[in-house]
Amino acid sequence: MSGSSGAILAVNSGSSTLKFGLFQLEEGEEKPLFEGSAEGIGKDAGRLEIKDGSGKTVHHEEQKYTSQDDALQHVCSTLPSLQSPEPAAVGHRLVHGGPRLREHALLTPQVFRALQEAVHFAPLHIPTSLELIRSAEKLYPKAPQFACFDTTFHTTLPEIAWHYPLPEKLVAEGVRRYGFHGLSYASIVHQLGSQMKPLAVVAHLGNGSSLCAMRDGKSIDTSMGMTPTGGIPMGTRTGDLDPGVLLYLMRVHNLDADQLEAMLNHESGLLALGGSADMRDLEQRSAAGDTQAALAIEIFTLSIAKTIVAYAVELGGLDQLIFAGGIGEHSARARSAILKKLSHFGLVLAPGKNDSASDVISSSNSRVEVRIVPSKEESQIAREVRSLL
């Protein structure tokens, strides 16, 4: 496939949001022509906001969306009214491709079938992505479609990091650690360039949260496992659990696989601990004396600090700690709580810089540089697609 300088549409679907960006190559970088999000998908109220390349809002409307597909159709019918060019290619964020699909790829019939066969690895995510791919093919029949996998960044994991202590026949079936948020991590490595230090930990903290240990910008370990449910506690997900808890729920409460999945992914985490999956809400209630909200924040930040220390051991040191994601970028309190727990290891925040969310928030006497770097998954999707064209 020959190279292309045309516009690339990046599609990034979440549980109740659809983020998107239309990018053009300028001076070797993917520059946004338009970026935006459709929010409140599947809820009683939603909205669409689109910004131009300068960050100016050029379209805003309240709109109810019944599904991700409904939102994509609305976005693609709105973009032409803003004089946007027709995309030359479309890139889709895929959370999981199973054991067979580990590299970003052109969406051929064979790749599509392999995705259908991998549904049981991410039953909450892959079916929605397949629906969006079908929809985009109808909307842009001349544009090639590409799958960009969150697991690709973690193909550099050594076997000691991905191999579970389970019977080998299960490992052969693909039961292993894959890791996620890979497009976010790749975008951070790209943005930092030469400022990326040799021994780094990146904390992508949001409704879904994970951490990644990187040596020279390559993933050597990550907190999420075979699915995005593992690792640290998240907005509504448990993170790692004693497997005996699942056996207890099956034996005593007679929960089947679907009921377990619903509990682990939608009814647990910060929501179960503090009554809300929104860190902003928890922080407000904690400040007002709500002990359950305070407990939720403490459990969340302690699990992150423990993981950072474990990764420092694995890396053989730590030069840099990077915060990303909605909580990582916007919660000064969460960052402060995490760094306070790590003060014995020489990590020191500069309070003013942390409160104002500066690029570098560590003090001059900190043994480890601490940064905030925004996750830019959509531009990374465009970058990966461009390299495949």
Rounded CA separation 180/94 (Å): 10
Phi, psi of 66, deg, nearest 5: -80, -25
Using pLDDT thresholds of 50, 70 and 90, give the confidence band for residue 139: very high
Q: According to the model, what pLDDT value does residue 264 have?
A: 96
Which residues form the catalytic set?
150
Domains along the chain? 8-149 (3.30.420.40), 194-372 (3.30.420.40)
Using pLDDT thresholds of 50, 70 and 90, give the confidence band for residue 2: very low
Using pLDDT thresholds of 50, 70 and 90, give the confidence band for residue 124: confident
What residues contact 259, with CB distance under 8 A and at least 6 apart? none
Is residue 220's pLDDT more than 50?
yes
Rounded CA separation 242/318 (Å): 29
Using pLDDT thresholds of 50, 70 and 90, give the confidence band for residue 1: very low
Exposed (0-12), middle (13-18) or buried (19+): which is 52, by Cβ within 10 Å? Answer: middle
Is residue 249's pLDDT more than 60?
yes
Over residues 148-192, the pLDDT tens digits come to 999 999 999 999 999 999 999 999 999 999 999 999 999 999 999
**b/e map of 361-375 (b: 16 or more CB within 10 Å)?**
bbeeebebbbbbbbb
Would you list the DSSP string of 198-261?
A: SEEEEEE-SSS-EEEEEETTEEEEES--SSTT-SS--SS---S--HHHHHHHHHHS---HHHHH
Rounded CA separation 113/127 (Å): 12
Instruction: Give the type of residue at 261.
Output: E
Is residue 123's pLDDT more than 90?
no
* Angle, vertex CA 343, rays to CA 338 and CA 344, nearest 5: 130
**Given the DSSP bridges, would you call strands 89-94 and 145-149 parallel, antiparallel or unpaired?**
parallel
Over residues 86-96, the pLDDT tens digits come to 999 999 999 99
Using pLDDT thresholds of 50, 70 and 90, give the confidence band for residue 62: very high
Average pLDDT for residues 92-110, to the nearest whole number?
A: 97
Rounded CA separation 366/314 (Å): 21
- Check if the beta carbon of residue 346 is closer than 8 Å to that of residue 318: no
Over residues 6-24, the pLDDT tens digits come to 999 999 998 779 999 999 9
20: which strand partners?
Answer: 11, 36
Rounded CA separation 16/65 (Å): 10
- Check if the beta carbon of residue 12 is closer than 8 Å to that of residue 5: no
Kindly report the average pLDDT of the chain as a whole number: 96
Average pLDDT for residues 262-271, to the nearest whole number?
A: 96
